[in-house]
Amino acid sequence: MELDRLIEILGKRAERLAELREHDFPEGVSLTPGMMLLEENLKGCESGIHYVASLLGRMKALAEEPELEPHGEHGDLMTLAEWIEDCESGYFIDYDGYGRIATEDGRTSIEISPSERTYFDFPAWATHIAWYNR
């Protein structure tokens, strides 16, 4: 299936789940424990679908010619190999911050967290990470 179509389908599923979660009950009707569990499951499905759609969108952007913006004053620029090594050693974890895939000359808008590093096949142009601590 084409990636754009998959992202579109995931977005529609998330919208439908949001509609189900926002169902109004008649006045005086309260949620039963089973209904509350369903509500929590719907929230989890909705956020999971949004995450997968976001991840697929970033993978697609990574496969295209990058649009670079200048490195700003904030963040630490490091080579991709250094960043991966720091992630694998536990020096960087998701709670610490996030990175933007970059080159030595500029950064993209493509964000990546330490736990996502294994999801991506980095193209040759992606030589650096601009790291932003929380």
Statement: residue 46 has pLDDT above 80? no
Query: Could you state, in order of their start, the residue ranges of all structural domains in the chain?
Result: 3-63, 76-133
- The token duo for 92 is 């960087």
pTM: 0.67
Cα–Cα distance between 56 and 15 in angstroms, integer?
17
Is the pLDDT confidence value at 28 over 80? Answer: no
What pLDDT, in 10s, does the model give residues 64-117? 888 999 998 899 999 999 999 999 999 999 999 999 999 999 999 999 999 989
More confident residue, 12 or 104: 104
Given this model, what pLDDT does residue 59 score? 82
Percent of the chain with pLDDT over 70: 67
Q: Are strands 97-102 and 107-112 parallel, antiparallel or unpaired?
A: antiparallel
